[in-house]
A = this chain, B = another copy of it.
Amino acid sequence: MDSGRPDLGEMVMGLGRRLIAMEQPILAGHELSMWGYVVLTALSRRTVRTQSALATAIGADKTRLIPILDDLQHRGLIHREPDPADRRARLLALTPAGTALHQQIQAAIRIAENDLLAALPESDRHGFLAALRALHT
């Protein structure tokens, strides 16, 4: 299986750093941190009933989430209200403004990604995306 290649970890993490560097100016242009964007992405898929669940879902610590949620809420990008049925929990969801911002940023990121992928032959690109979908956590 192609034993003359670098370790997968080296190649995958190297590409990861490259992708993050690519996203950075896009996010900075909207004054959003990477974790802020990760939260918007997670909430764009499904609303969440507790901050702990969101933290687990994105692989973060619940205490790390708090300043991020404070900021997003303060900017009107997310709803964050006590659950009437259990006032300990906080119902989390995107506001319309949050949905719009997320879609705008994601579209810009997608364009940059496609620039990168355009360098690949069609069959490699297809296999790459299929493998990523199968292997990513």
Which positions in A face B, CB cutoff 8 Å?
A: 1-3, 5-20, 23, 38, 41, 59, 106, 109-110, 113-114, 116-117, 119-121, 123-137
The one of B11, B17, B38, B41 in contact with A132, judged by C-beta atoms closer than 8 angstroms, is: B11
Distance in Å: Cβ of A115 to nearest Cβ of chain B: 10
Tell whether, in the assembled complex, residue B1 and residue A114 are in contact, meaning their CB atoms are under 8 Å apart: yes
Chain A binding surface SS class: helix
Copies of this chain in its oligomeric complex? 2
Tell whether, in the assembled complex, residue B124 and residue A130 are in contact, meaning their CB atoms are under 8 Å apart: yes
Closest to A131 in B: B128
Tell whether, in the assembled complex, residue A131 and residue B136 are in contact, meaning their CB atoms are under 8 Å apart: no
Distance in Å: Cβ of A132 to nearest Cβ of chain B: 4
Tell whether, in the assembled complex, residue A9 and residue B5 are in contact, meaning their CB atoms are under 8 Å apart: no
Closest to A42 in B: B10
Can you name 11 extra interface pairs (CB under 8 A) apart from A6-B133, A10-B41, A15-B137? A5-B129, A5-B133, A7-B41, A7-B110, A8-B19, A8-B117, A10-B38, A12-B15, A14-B137, A17-B59, A127-B127
